[in-house]
Amino acid sequence: MTLKTPNFTGWRAVVLSEADGNTDRLRRQLGLLGVSVAVQWTPLSAADLPDLVLIDADRGWDELLPFSDAAPACPVVALLGSEAPGRIAWALRHGAGAIIPKPVSAATVYPALVLAVSLHEERLEARRRIAHLEERLKLRPLVFAAVKRLAAERHIDEERAYAILRDCAMRRRLPIEQLAAFFLGGSESLREVG
């Protein structure tokens, strides 16, 4: 697999920090990656989320970010000078995917961005997958009921009935749960298989 060179050109970042030498260096380094930067030390609006948030985790408070519980709406990078476990935990709780140590040095910015953005994408993908699997899990009793009924109707064992449902779902390109629901509702006769 080819790892594509990460490219942040055209991205919008908000640095939640008081303006100081660190934010100057962040501005420069992000600027040359093609990222536009706003620095503010007031809460971020949920209505106007940037592509990326960098937050002063030494002094940050909960209301700065319109999200928490490690379910960030965009990638978060923590700016951290402190080694206090409480501040590290605060950064984690707000979804930080990477840390840029303070004082900010140039070489730490790009790797932190790549890390935080990749982790954010992975998390989104994992969340999507979990939601999908939960949905399927919820519908599992339907599959069980459909197997029972199909086995009874056609005088076959449950294993065979399940195979029929699965093959048919694959052919229709449907999740097996959905096909089972159609079958139980009478709109799917499973005529061509079995």
Partner 1 sequence: MVDRVKIGILYSTTGPYGSMGRDAREGAEFAFHDYRQRGGERIEPAYFDPRADLAAYLEGARSLIRDQGCRHIIGTITSTARKEVIPLVEKHDGLLWYMCPYEGFEANENVIYIGGCPNQHLIPLFDYLLPRHGARPYLVGANYVWGWEMNRLARELIHNAGGTVLGERYLPLEETAVERIVADIAEKRPSFVLNNLVGPSSYAFLAAMRALGARDPAFLPENCPVASCDLQECELSDIGAGVATGQLCAASYFDTLDTAGNHAFKARLKDWSGGERIVSSLFASAYTAVSLCIAAIEAAGSDAPERVRAEVLARDWPSLFGDMRVDAATNHAALPFLLGRINERHGFDVIASAPALAADPYLTGATTRPAPRLRIVS
Q: Is 102 in the site for partner 1 (CB under 8 A)?
A: no
CB 101 → partner 1: shortest distance, Å? 12
Binding residues for partner 1, rule CB under 8 A, total: 19
What does the angle CA 92 – CA 21 – CA 64 come to, to the nearest 5 degrees? 35
CB closer to partner 1 out of 113 and 179 = 113
Binding-site member from 107, 159, 173, 186 for partner 1 (CB under 8 A) = 107
CA nearest 55: which of 29, 30, 12, 90?
Answer: 90
Please list every residue from 17 through 56 that binds partner 1, using CB under 8 A: 25, 28-29, 31-34
CB closer to partner 1 out of 28 and 171 = 28
First to last CA, the chain: 41
CB 122 → partner 1: shortest distance, Å? 20
Q: Is 105 in the site for partner 1 (CB under 8 A)?
A: yes
CB closer to partner 1 out of 45 and 105 = 105
CB closer to partner 1 out of 36 and 82 = 36
Which helix H or strand E contains 175, and what residues bound it?
none
CB 74 → partner 1: shortest distance, Å? 20
Pair 188, 179: CB distance under 8 Å? yes
Exposed / middle / buried, residue 138 (Cβ in 10 Å: 0-12, 13-18, 19+): exposed
CA nearest 59: which of 29, 102, 27?
Answer: 102
Q: Is 187 in the site for partner 1 (CB under 8 A)?
A: no
Pair 115, 122: CB distance under 8 Å? no
Which residues contact partner 1 by CB under 8 A? 2-5, 7-10, 25, 28-29, 31-34, 105-107, 110
